[in-house]
Amino acid sequence: MRASFAPWADPGAKPLLRLEGVSKRFADTAAVDNLSLDIFEREFFALLGPSGSGKTTLLRLLAGFERPDSGKILLDGEDIAGVPPYRRPVNMMFQNYALFPHLNVASNIAFGLRQERMPRREIRQRVAELLALVKLEGLERRRPHQLSGGQRQRVALARSLAKRPKVLLLDEPLAALDRKLREQTQFELAKLQEQLGTTFVIVTHDQQEAMTMAHRMAVMDNGRLIQVAPPSEVYEQPASRWVADFIGDVNLLEGEVKTTQSGVATVAGKNGEEFRLAVSADIWPGMHVWAALRPEKIQVGPQPPAGAADNKFRGVVEDIAYRGNVIVYRVKLALGDELMASVANASRLMELPISRGDEVWLSWPAAAGVLLSH
Amino acid sequence: MARRQNAGGTFVVVLVPYLWLAALFLVPCLIILKISLSQTAIAQPPYTPVYDFAVGWAGFKEFISGLSFQNYSALAQDTIYLSSYLKSLQVAAVSTAILLVIGYPLAYGISRATGRWQALLVLLVILPFWTSFLIRVYAWITILQTDGLFNRALQALGIISAPVAWLASDTAVYIGIVYSYLPFMVLPLYASLQHVDDSLLEAAADLGCRRWKAFWKITVPLSLPGAIAGALLCFIPVVGEFVIPDLLGSSSSMMIGQTLWTEFFSNKDWPIAGAIAIVLLIVLVGPIAGFEFIRARDLKGR
């Protein structure tokens, strides 16, 4: 998660990039469907969605490789929807890096600058700066095939930054790296973005990646934006069941709102259980809702929790998944619902305190989950 | 360990083609080299000396002293050989250039076609191989003759008013060579063009290149190994080409293959024919070595 930076919350702020009702169809499927979105200067914006959700098409529309069927793409207030890619102050880092195999590292990075006919001396200087930025000094004469995957990724990044674009588009930039390197690079990329102040728009299918790096993320499905918000908001206040389920793990409990009192709704579950959860403005009695409850927000214990709890249920452990850092319990409640509860593995006991078939108590405060109307 | 055990098997596998090459390429080459150092004779075979395994060491010394380079100096003295070599190199160079000009757009078009079309178009390029090369060249005689298809088509289109004698001319030779060798130019070009990833062209566009410039900066350099391979695959055999100039060309200026044939069959001068072949081989070793060098570099690059 990133430091406080929230121009989207300021109604007077002017977006750097504005999409107005942008649509793009391929044959008879709408890859991008009447989509509107504002992206601000210095923002690190992530497009997240399952494959086929239209996130890559949206990125290609921004790059100019696709033209929208309708709608406007405004960059600094100017419609660039019809401007070809070679005239846009926008650059892209490709998923497979698309490094030119016949050119060495320095020539790859300098490629865009040479098209601009920048003087040789300045090119050399800029290339040296970029090589230092991505820590590839000394490799300028290497060809792409002589580099490791991580090094290639850095060359691609340097090349896409060389022309100092107003917006840098990144298409799954870390997908080809192994996990350790990817996690390390996530932090580096976020730091680099802050340092350069360039607006980054990244496409990824990896929610960890989006949450680690982005100021805001857009969750896409079927060519539409389902939710656009900072990562913590998407996680804690998902806009719908679909988002709650797509981002992280979640328990969804179906029910009907009985009463709402002092900010807490009492919900009657399908199996007759009653639970209490914090209520938001668009929830009222009689409504059909789903309670979205993250597994890590449920307490698990062999005894009923001491004192009053908003929700406490008895159940039997059906399954235990030991994941190292957390232990996930699948608990079947007496009334028939099944819940996942995860507990941080804080102690280092070989014997787990709870085993399969044990009776346990699950409890959570009203503020632990959200009620979703759709 | 496993590697070392494999080494013996690898050696055998490699040995077989080398034995094959030695028996069917190296040995005949050495025989021709020996013949080129001999003198003509009215005998069977029509040259001397002939080494007799029965005569021993003294006979061998006599045999060696019988060899000479006089056929090679004969090649240098008579301008007919030099002009034949030059004619061959010229025909090969011009037709390779024409083949590149025709073959590149063809290969490019095939490489940009969609999957199913691509397979069909490649098939069409290699389809002529299903008919004998000789028959296809003979077919050109009927096409190019005075009342042939070519003249009638040109007349029907109003391009020429009277039939043109195409046969027995350099034009006919070029037509025949370009037709026959086109697949050898197109296939390696296609192979290299097919590997030019679309995302590279998008990256070039993203970095400020218009289409033609992206083509020039990315596609052309990446297809260069294919172009060089195609050019060598055409140039080298065209230099030694015999059938096409013999059937479609004139007898006034002969290519080296025809000169060699005349020396061998008409003049029964095997030694001078051998010398012509050896010199031709040496002339062509340069481009072949170049081809191998580029191929080796390419393999290392991948």
For residue B208, give the nearest of A96, A112, A160 by CB distance.
Answer: A112
Give me the long-range contacts of A141-146 (CB less than 8 A, separation at least 24): A141/A104, A141/A105, A141/A106, A142/A104, A142/A105, A143/A101, A143/A102, A143/A103, A143/A104, A143/A105, A143/B301, A144/A97, A144/A99, A144/A100, A144/A101, A144/A105, A144/A108, A145/A101, A145/B301, A145/B302
Per-residue confidence (pLDDT) for residue B298, from 0 to 100: 62
For residue A85, give the nearest of B199, B206, B222 by CB distance.
Answer: B206
Residue B5 binned pLDDT confidence (cut-offs 50, 70, 90):
low
For residue B210, give the nearest of A86, A116, A162 by CB distance.
Answer: A86
| pLDDT tens-place string over residues A171-218 | 999 988 888 888 889 999 999 999 999 999 999 988 889 999 999 999
> Pick from A244, A271, A288: which residue ends a domain?
A244
Are the beta carbons of A207 and A227 closer than 8 angstroms? no
Domain assignment present for A347: yes
Contact A163 B208 (CB under 8 A): yes
Contact B222 A102 (CB under 8 A): yes
A240 and A256 part of one domain: no
Contact A96 B199 (CB under 8 A): yes
CB < 8 Å to B221, chain A: 102
**Interface probe, candidates B192, B199, B206, chain A, greatest A C-beta count within 10 A:** B206
A192 and A266 part of one domain: no
A142 and A129 part of one domain: yes
Domain assignment present for A50: yes
Over chain A, what is the mean pLDDT? Answer: 89
Contact B205 A65 (CB under 8 A): yes
For residue B208, give the nearest of A86, A98, A145 by CB distance.
Answer: A86
pLDDT at A42 over 80: yes
Chain B's closest residue to A99, CA to CA, is B200
| pLDDT tens-place string over residues B229-245 | 899 899 999 999 999 99
Residue A350 binned pLDDT confidence (cut-offs 50, 70, 90):
low
**Interface probe, candidates A59, A86, A171, chain B, greatest B C-beta count within 10 A:** A86
Chain A's closest residue to B302, CA to CA, is A145
Contact B206 A101 (CB under 8 A): no
A350 and A237 part of one domain: no
What is the pLDDT averaged over residues B85-113? 95
| pLDDT tens-place string over residues B215-229 | 999 999 999 989 988
Contact A145 B204 (CB under 8 A): no
Contact B206 A145 (CB under 8 A): no
Chain B's closest residue to A160, CA to CA, is B207
Over chain B, what is the mean pLDDT? Answer: 89
A188 and A293 part of one domain: no
Contact A116 B209 (CB under 8 A): no
A367 and A268 part of one domain: yes
Give me the long-range contacts of A34-41 (CB less than 8 A, separation at least 24): A34/A71, A34/A224, A35/A71, A35/A223, A35/A224, A35/A225, A37/A218, A37/A225, A37/A228, A38/A8, A39/A15, A39/A167, A39/A199, A39/A201, A40/A7, A40/A8, A40/A13, A40/A15, A40/A16, A40/A199, A41/A7, A41/A16, A41/A197, A41/A199
Domain assignment present for A33: yes
For residue A112, give the nearest of B207, B218, B302 by CB distance.
Answer: B207
Verdict on whether the full-model pTM lies above 0.80 = yes
pLDDT at B299 over 80: no
Give the count of beta carbons closer than 10 Å to the beta carbon of residue A297.
Answer: 15
Q: Average the pLDDT over each of A162-166, A260-264, A313-317, B15-19 and give the range with the smallest value.
A: A260-264
CB < 8 Å to B210, chain A: 84, 86
Contact A92 B199 (CB under 8 A): no
Measure the CA–CA gap between B106 and B101, rounded to whole angstroms: 9
A117 and A149 part of one domain: yes
A161 and A286 part of one domain: no
For residue B206, give the nearest of A91, A96, A101 by CB distance.
Answer: A91
Domains and CATH numbers, chain B: 38-68 (no CATH), 71-301 (1.10.3720.10)
Q: Average the pLDDT over each of A282-291, B201-210, B287-296 and give the range with the smallest value.
A: B287-296
Structural domain count, chain A: 2
Q: Average the pLDDT over each of A61-75, A133-147, A331-345 and give the range with the smallest value.
A: A331-345
Chain B's closest residue to A159, CA to CA, is B207
Per-residue confidence (pLDDT) for residue A3, from 0 to 100: 54
Q: pLDDT higher for A303 or A143?
A: A143
Beta strands A274-278 and A224-229 are unpaired
Are the beta carbons of A341 and A295 closer than 8 angstroms? yes
Chain B's closest residue to A95, CA to CA, is B199
Best CA proximity match to A148, nearest among A97, A91, A213: A97
| pLDDT tens-place string over residues B70-97 | 999 999 998 999 999 999 999 999 999 9
CB < 8 Å to B217, chain A: 111
Domain assignment present for A153: yes
Per-residue confidence (pLDDT) for residue B67, from 0 to 100: 86
Both tokens assigned to B98: 């024409």
Chain A's closest residue to B221, CA to CA, is A102
| pLDDT tens-place string over residues A213-242 | 999 999 999 999 999 999 999 999 999 999
Beta strands A44-48 and A199-204 are parallel
What is the pLDDT averaged over residues B152-161? 90
Domain assignment present for A1: no
Domain assignment present for A331: yes
Per-residue confidence (pLDDT) for residue B302, from 0 to 100: 45
A205 and A259 part of one domain: no
A237 and A311 part of one domain: no
pLDDT at A165 over 90: yes
Find the domain containing A96 and state its range. Answer: 7-244
Per-residue confidence (pLDDT) for residue A179, from 0 to 100: 87
> Pick from A244, A271, A306: which residue ends a domain?
A244
A234 and A258 part of one domain: no
pLDDT at A247 over 60: yes
Question: For residue A351, what is the domain's CATH number?
Answer: 2.40.50.140
Residue A359 binned pLDDT confidence (cut-offs 50, 70, 90):
confident
Question: For residue A229, what is the domain's CATH number?
Answer: 3.40.50.300
Contact A143 B301 (CB under 8 A): yes
Query: First and final CA of chain A: distance in angstroms?
Result: 27
For residue A94, give the nearest of B203, B218, B222 by CB distance.
Answer: B203
Residue B1 binned pLDDT confidence (cut-offs 50, 70, 90):
very low
| pLDDT tens-place string over residues B57-69 | 878 888 888 888 8
Both tokens assigned to B287: 């481009």
> Pick from A191, A221, A244: which residue ends a domain?
A244
A349 and A336 part of one domain: yes
Domain assignment present for A2: no
Domain assignment present for A96: yes
**Interface probe, candidates B198, B199, B207, chain A, greatest A C-beta count within 10 A:** B207
pLDDT at B4 over 60: no
